[in-house]
Amino acid sequence: MTIAISGTTGITLDGQFNSASSMGFKNRLINGGMVLDQRNAGASFTPTDQTYSLDRWKCRVSQASKYTVQQNAGSVTPPAGFRNYLGVTSSSAYSITSSDYFTVQQIIEGFNVADLSWGTASASPITISFWVRSSLTGTFGGALMNSAEVRSYPFTYTISSANTWEQKSVTIAGDQSGTWLTTNGIGLYVAFGLGVGSTYSGTAGAWAASSTILSATGATSVVGTNGATFYITGVQLEKGSTATSFDYRPYGTELALCQRYFFPQAQVQFIGYQLGSNNWAYTHFFPVWMRASPTVTSFDLAGTSGKVYLDANGVACTPDFITNNTCRIIAVTPAVNGSHTLAYTLTVSAEL
């Protein structure tokens, strides 16, 4: 898109642009450039079912220890314009059964897709675009689902050259049927298959009323080849029928978006003087307003959960008065009067 200014009379737009995706929150996915890994800080991670790897990217596995996930696994050069990618490495040559599933996926909050108007006659199309690289070639699959997992759209894409970054895009007509949440609940599942059995696979290219579809029938199984790799970055889901340039957001903005769902609090330490026999209480404020009242877990300096460090001891702690932006930390004071040191770390999660 170019802008030509003629005299002082106004501005003329020369060419075409995707008006539905050009302003505001264009990419409905968070951390699509894989820049944030708060949980693992770049270390390799072997997922169990329903656990998160890089921020906002959840792993689904029906069998344990079949693949690992790591930010920038294999240390290959990312595609131009990117510094990071999510890397999957198969841990064995596993033959999937009909009931197996292995995916990485992101769940989009309903508020962030409300304008798509899915479930109505005004449903808007969306386009998913991404960069992908694999040691395997062939037809790969993924799927979209609603919160109840009863409406799904399996899709496919082709990787033509092994160990080469390729850019892909898939345009999907908006679903005019079903119920699609537009609140702070699950608005939309976006899954990329790494090996999915027939029970959780469906025919690509159309919306269907079916339960829990995670990929397309006949898609390549990454976990089926020992040491196989699957790398992905620049993942974007936008409103409209055209893939546009990746929506680069400031790092601080991307971090705050991720922290709405999860953050690990670095060590908090302070010294105070207490009179009387009451417990030691401290109000802890979160860096952002979270999606919902979160689950809060405290840790003492030895990393023991459910405790905080008070003076030289780990003492029991159950965070309470939890809201979307704060909680209270309580420790039992070992002495009636005097100065005490309280230290702890937290994990705070309001993930979908």
Task: Give CA separation, 153 vs 67, 171, 207, 225, 322, in Å.
Answer: 25, 11, 5, 26, 38
Reported pTM: 0.92
Q: How far is the C-alpha of 265 from the C-alpha of 70, rounded, in Å?
A: 21
Mean pLDDT of 183-190: 98
DSSP H helices, the chain, are: 251-259
| Contact (CB, 8 A) for 85 and 34 | yes
| Contact (CB, 8 A) for 286 and 263 | yes
Question: What's 280-300 look like in SS3?
Answer: EEEEEECCCCCCCCCEEEEEC
Q: Which of 180, 50, 185 is nearest to 126 (CA)?
A: 180
The phi, psi pair for 95, rounded to 5°, reads -90, 110
DSSP, residue by residue, 177-245: SS----SSSEEEEEEEEEEE-GGGEE-TTS-EE-S---EETT---GGGSTT-EEEEEEEEEEESSS---
The number of beta carbons lying within 10 Å of the beta carbon of residue 98 is 10
pLDDT tens profile 305-346: 999 988 888 888 889 999 999 999 888 766 656 777 889 999
Amino acid identity for residue 292 in this structure: A
- What six digits make up the tokens of 177? 């049927």
Higher pLDDT, 309 or 60: 60
pLDDT for residue 20 is more than 50: no
Amino acid identity for residue 337 in this structure: N
Return mean pLDDT, the chain.
Answer: 91
Q: How far is the C-alpha of 352 from the C-alpha of 344, rounded, in Å?
A: 26
Q: How far is the C-alpha of 244 from the C-alpha of 247, rounded, in Å?
A: 8
Range with the lowest mean pLDDT among 136-140, 200-204, 312-316, 335-339?
Answer: 335-339
β-sheet bridge partners, residue 343 = 269, 309
The number of beta carbons lying within 10 Å of the beta carbon of residue 147 is 19
Mean pLDDT of 110-133: 98
Domains present along the chain, CATH in parentheses = 13-256 (2.60.120.260), 262-349 (no CATH)
- What six digits make up the tokens of 11? 């501005």
| Contact (CB, 8 A) for 231 and 33 | no
User: pLDDT value at position 273?
Assistant: 65
User: pLDDT value at position 276?
Assistant: 60
